[in-house]
Structure 1
Amino acid sequence: MRIFKNYIFLFWLVQGLLIALKIAFTLRPEINLFTEEAQYWLWSQNLAWHYYSKPPLIAVFNFLSTSVFGINELAIRINAVLLGLGTAWLVFYLTDFLFQSKRMAFWASLILSSMPFFILFSTFHMTDSEVMFFWMLTWVLLAKALKEAKWKWWVFAGVSALLGMASKPIMVLVLPSLGLFLFLAGRIKSYGNKFLLFVVISLIGLIPSVVWNSGNGFQTFRHLATLGGIHGGGSGRSLVEMLLGFLEFLGGQLLITSVFLFPLWILYTRKVRIFDSKQLFLILPAFISFLTFAFISLFSVVQVNWPAFGYSTLAIASAYAIEKQEGIWYKIGYWGIGIGVLLPVLLLFPEVNGLKRQIGLEKLEIAVFNRLAGYDQLASRISFLEDSLGIQDVFYFSESYHVSSELAFYLPSHPQTFQIAKGGRRNQFDLWESIDSHLEFEETGVFVSFHEDSPNPVTTFQQLIYEEEFPIYFRDEYLRSAKIQFWKNLQKYEPIQSDSY
C-alpha cells in the first residue's frame, strides 16, 4: 500500500497517537504532577536569572505555557510533550540527512519513542526535556555546518547549545564531544576557527549562572560538587563500593535506554564500522555522556536519568544496524521496538472498566506512579478544613520542599508556600522569603508532612487548633497518610541551618 511508503506521514501518525496518549495520561484524575515538576512551576512564579540547582529556562517555559493555558497540569506537561515531538522530528531529520533514507528515519524515530528515557522526558516536564531537545538540535545544526561549511550553521549551533546550557549546565559536554569528533575524523585543522566560534557562543549560556552564583555563595557549584562526590562526603569509597556503584550505574543505563534493544547494540558493535565518520558523529555524543557519569558513579550515586539526554543519536545508530541486517536479527529488532513501545502505552493509558486490575497491571501502576498521587486530594481536604474551621488568614508550610511545591500548585489560590529548615539538604526555598515573615501576626499556619509529627522544635506557635492523619489513595487503593495541622499565631522560628548541598 502506498501509505506504508510515505514515512513522513507515518511519523506524524505515530507521534500524533503518542501525543494523544500522553495528554490522556496527564488528564487522568488519579495522576498529579511529579514533585520536581511542581517545584519548577513554582520557580516560574518567581522568575530569576538562575535558581539554586538549575538555570532559568525551564521556569521560562512554564511561565509562558501557564500564561497561555492557565495553571493546570496540562499547561506544565505540554512543554515536555512538544519538546519530545521536536526531538523525535530532529532524529528523523538527522537520519534522513545523513543516510538519505526516510524509511530508516522513521524507524529511528520509532526506536527513540520506545526508549524509556525519551518516554520519561517527553511526558514529565523536567530540565532533561529541554536539554534533550537542544542537545539534538545542536547536533543537527552541526551536521549541516560540517556538510555545507557555512559560518551561519556554526552560529545557529552555538545558539542552540547556549539555550541548552540555559536549561542544564551538563550541556557543556557538547564541546568535548564535538572536539573529539573533529580530532578523530581528521577535521580539527579545517574547522578550528569555526569550532572556536561555536565554543564562544555556547559558553555565553553559562554567564547567568556564573553571575548569579558569584552573588549567592556559588551554591549551585557546591550542589553539583556534592552530587559528583567532590564535596560533602562523597569520597572515601572502597574499591568494592566503587565497582558496585559502577555496576549499578551500568544496569540503570541499560534499563533507561531499553533492555529490549540490547541485542541490536551488541550486533552494532560487531557489524558496523564504528570509526566511520557518520558513526562517530552518532556514537560520540552518547559515549561522552555515558563515560562522564560512569566516572562519577565510582565516587557518588548517579541518578539513572542524568546521562540520558545524550542518548538520542543511539536511536539512529540502532536504525542503521537494523537496516544492515536480515532474517532473525531483523525480527529481533522489530520485536524489541514493539515491546518497548507497548509497555509504556499500557501504563500511560487510562483505566477502562477495571481492565488493568483484571489483568494484574494495577499493582505495577501503583508501584510506578504512587508518588504522583494524592496532592490534589490533600489540597481539597485543606480547603475543606479551612472552611469548616472558619479560618481566613492562613499560610502553608512543610519541612519538605516537595510537599511545599505541590501545595502551592494544587491549593486554589496558588499561594507562595514555605519550607521550614529542619537540617535537611539546602534548596531553592532557602533563598526565598522565610516563614519568619509571618511572626507575631494573627494568622494560622497549616503544616503538612508525610514524615514529621509536627513542625517542632524549629517553630513555636501559640496553640494547636486542629490535626488529623489524612489518607492518600490511588483510585481506591490506600498509599500513605499525611499529617495536617492547623497552628495559631507563629511566635518563634529557629531554623536548623544545614551545610548539606
Structure 2
Amino acid sequence: MRPDIDTRGWLAPVLALVAAVTALRWLLLAYDGTDLFVDEAQYWLWGQHFAFGYYSKPPLIAWVIGAVTGLARSDAPFWVRMPGAALHGATAVVLAALAVRVWGRRAAIWTAAGYLSLPMVSLGSILISTDTVMAPFFAAALLFWRRLVEDRRSQWAALAGLMIGVAFLAKYAAIYFLLGAALAALVFPAARVGWRNAAAMLAAFAAVILPNLLWNAFNGLATFTHTADNVGWVAGAGRPAPGPLGLAEFWASQFAVVGPVIFAALLVALARARRMGGLACFVLVPLLAVSVQSLLDRTNANWAVAAYFAGLPLAMAVLADAPRWRAAGLAVNAAIALALPVLTLMPHLALGDAPLLKRYLGREALSLEVIALAKAHGNAPVYAEERDVLADLFYTGRDADLAFYARNPQGVPKSHYEQRYPLPNDVTGPVLAVLSRPTACAPLAPAVQVGREPGAYADRNLTATLVDGACLAAE
C-alpha cells in the first residue's frame, strides 16, 4: 500500500451505501411478479439435497439457496433469490477495500458505488446465478493477492487460494484468477510473489476444490462434461464458427454487462495496462479467453463476468480524472438498476403481443395446470422431456405429493432430471405425459392443451396426455 494515499474513513460510507441499496433491492424483490427461471428452479432443487457437485454446475449456489430457504423455512421465490443482493453488496465492500489500498479513500467509495450500479449486478440482485455466488469470493481473492504482492506474507497466499477455491465451487470460471495471477507474474516483476507463496496458494485452492473433483470422478465427470458441451468447439458440436461477427457481438454485449461509460473507461485502463499494474491481467485473461470462444462458437454475455471484479476498480480509477463522465456513467447505470426491478413489479407489461418478461412468466401456471390434471387422474405420475417444464414442476409441485419423471436417457444424460429422475423402465399404470411432440402411445383420456397463458410456453403447443406408462417407457 502506498504511504502517500489517504485510507481513512472509507468503511462507514461504503457500508451505509451498501446497506441502503441492498435494502431497496430486497424491498423491490418482495413485490417481484415473475416466476423462477429454469436455472433458479433447478438450483433450488439441488439445494434440497446436499452434495459436493451437481449435473451442470459446482455446488455452492445450491448450498447457499438450501441454507437460506432452510433458515427462512420458506421456499418462496423471494428467499431463493434473496442472497443475490446481499452477495453483491458484500462484493462492493471487498472491492472498496481493494481500491483503498491502491488509490485511497475516494476511490474506495466510488468503486463501491460503481459496482452497485453495474447492470450485471442489478440483474444478479433479481435473479440468483452462479456469477453472483462467485462474486464476493473472487473479489476477496483479488484483495488477498494484492496484500500478498505488497508484503509477500504466506498467510495472504493461503487466503487467496482459499477464496478462489470457494469461488471455483460457485463457477468454474474462477480458474481465470490463477491464470491472471500467472500472467501478472510474467509481465510485472512486482507481482512475482515467489515459488513458496505460489505453492501455498495452489495448495489451498486444491484442498478446497478436492471434494468437487472427487464427486465428478465418481459421477462420470458430469459437471466437467456439461461445461465442455457449452464450449461447442471443444465438444465437437460441428456448428459453423461465428468468426469476426461472433467476436463483435461479444464485445458489443459487454457494454450492456457493465454499462457503456464504465466499459469504455475499462478499455482505456487496458490501453494503459503497463501503468495500471497486475490487476489488468485479471481483466485481460477472461476477456481474451471468451473472445477466442466467440470466434469459434457461441458465447453468452455473462461468460466474461470474472473480468469485472478487477476491471471495475480500474475503470473507476480512469474516471477519477473525468468526473463528468463518471457522473454520466453512474447515472446511466442507476437508471438501468432501477428500471430492471420496476419491470418485475409489472411483469405483464407488453410491447406488441407478448409481455416484455415473457420468458419469466407462465411457468408456475403451466405446472399448476399439469398438477391439477394429474390429481384428477388419481395422482398419476407426470412425465416431461423438456428441462424447463421439469424444473418448474419440481419447484411448484414440491408439496403436491406427485412423482415427476424425465426421459430415460440412452447414453449420457442431457439434464439433471435425466440423470436423477428418469422414467423407470418397469413403470406401470397411467402416466400424464406433457409433450410438445406426438406420442405413439394411445391416449387413455382426451389430450389437453396446456401452457396457453401469455408467457414462456404460449407458442410451444404443449399437451398433457394420459397414456400407459409401460408404452411410454418402451417408446
- Normalising by the smaller structure, the TM-score range is 0.7 to 0.9
* Shift in Å, 1:146: 2.3
Matched to 2:220, the amino acid is G
* 2:149 corresponds to 1:114: no
Q: CA deviation at 1:371?
A: 0.9
Q: Tell me which residue corresponds to 2:464.
A: 485
Residues 434 and 465 in structure 2, CA contact (< 8 A), matched pair in contact too: no
Question: Structure 1: how far apart are the matches of 2:323 and 2:190?
Answer: 35
2:207 is aligned with 1:204 = yes
Letter in 2 for 1:377: A
Q: Distance in 2 between matches of 1:275 and 1:156?
A: 27
Aligned twin of 2:76: 72
- 1:491 match: secondary structure: helix
Q: Supply the RMSD in Å over aligned alpha carbons.
A: 3.2
Rounded Cα–Cα distance in structure 1 between residues aligned with 2:190 and 2:324: 38
Identify which of 88, 93, 103 aligns with 1:89. 93
Superposed counterparts of 1:34-73, under 5 Å: 34-69=37-72, 70-73=74-77
Task: Look up the match of 2:194.
Answer: 191
Q: Does structure 2 conserve the Cα–Cα contact (< 8 Å) formed by 1:396 and 1:445?
A: yes
Q: Deviation per CA, 1:99-134, whole angstroms, max 9, x where unpaired?
A: 221x22121112112222222233321111122221
Separation in 2 of the partners of 1:344 and 1:495?
51
- Confirm or deny: 8 A CA contact 1:268 1:318 kept in the other structure: yes
TM-score (norm 1): 0.83
Identical columns (%) = 17
- The secondary structure found in structure 2 opposite 1:393 is coil
User: Which one is further off, 178-187 or 13-22?
Assistant: 13-22
Q: Which residue of 2 aligns with 1:464?
A: 445
**Residue 430 of structure 2 corresponds to residue 427 of structure 1:** no
2:329 alignment partner AA: G
In structure 2, how many angstroms separate the alpha carbons of the residues matched to 1:393 and 1:193?
Answer: 62
> 1:461 and 1:258 mapped to 2: Cα distance?
54
Task: Decide whether aligned partners of structure 1 residues 248 and 469 sit closer, same or farther in structure 2, where only a CA change above 3 A counts.
Answer: same
Is this contact kept in 2: 1:465–1:488, CA < 8 A? no
Q: Give the match for residue 260 of structure 1.
A: 261
Instruction: Give the match's secondary structure for 1:59.
Output: helix
1:418 and 2:405 aligned? yes
1:291-310 correspondence to structure 2 within 5 Å: 291-310=288-307
Shift of 1:289: 0.8
Change (3 A) 1:9 1:373: farther
1:341 aligns with 334
CA contact (8 A) 2:408 2:424 kept: no
Structure 1 residues 204 and 133: CA distance shift in structure 2, 3 A: same
2:3 is aligned to none
Q: Which whole-Å deviations, capped at 9, do the CAs of 1:242-296 have from their partners, x for residues lacking one?
A: 22221222112222121233443455456xx5323xx223321121111111112
Counterpart of 2:247 in structure 1: which amino acid? F
C-alpha change, 1:369 and 1:416, in structure 2 (3 Å) is farther
Shift of 1:7: 5.7
- Structure 2 distance, partners of 1:315, 1:292, is 19
- 1:206-355 counterparts in 2 under 5 A? 206-234=209-237, 237=240, 241-265=242-266, 267-268=268-269, 273-276=272-275, 279-323=276-320, 325=321, 329-349=322-342
Q: Distance in 2 between matches of 1:281 and 1:92?
A: 17
Task: Confirm or deny that 1:446 pairs with 2:432.
Answer: yes
Query: Shift of residue 342 of structure 1?
Result: 1.1
Distance 1:246 1:405, change over 3 A: same
Task: Single out whichever of 286-295 and 408-417 deviates more from structure 2.
Answer: 408-417
Task: Give the C-alpha shift of residue 419 in structure 1.
Answer: 2.0
Q: Which runs of 5+ in 1 are unaligned?
A: 497-501
Which residue in the other structure is 1:159 paired with? Answer: 162
1:67 CA drift (Å): 0.9
Alpha-carbon distance, 1:297 to partner: 1.6
Report if the CA contact (8 A) 1:234-1:300 is conserved: no
Give CA deviations for 1:336-372 in whole Å, capped at 9, x if unaligned: 11111112312312688x8x99xxx753996652111
Indicate conservation of the 8 Å contact 1:84/1:122, yes or no: yes
The corresponding residue for 1:372 is 360
Superposed CA deviations along residues 454-500 of structure 1, whole A, max 9, x for unmatched, are 5x25xx466135513342236xx99556635251541234478xxxx
SS state at 1:468 partner:
strand
Q: Distance in 1 between matches of 2:230 and 2:76?
A: 31
Check the 8 A contact 2:408/2:422 in 1, yes or no.
Answer: no
Contact 2:371 2:397 in 1 (8 A): yes
Tell whether the 8 Å contact from 1:155 to 1:201 is kept in structure 2 after alignment.
Answer: yes
The one-letter code of the counterpart of 2:471 is K
Deviation at residue 426 of structure 1 after TM alignment? 0.9
In the alignment, the residues of structure 2 paired with residue 28 and residue 305 of structure 1 have an alpha-carbon distance, to the nearest angstrom, of: 26
More strand by share: 1
Instruction: Determine helix, strand or coil for the equivalent of 1:471.
Output: coil
Partner Cα distance (1:453, 1:236) in 2: 25
Q: CA deviation at 1:214?
A: 2.8
In 2: Cα distance, 1:473 partner to 1:58 partner: 30
- 2:4 counterpart residue number: none
1:432-468 Cα distance to aligned partner (Å, 9 max, x none): 132126711x4x533345xx045x25xx466135513
Give 1:8 shift. Answer: 4.4
Shift in Å, 1:430: 2.2
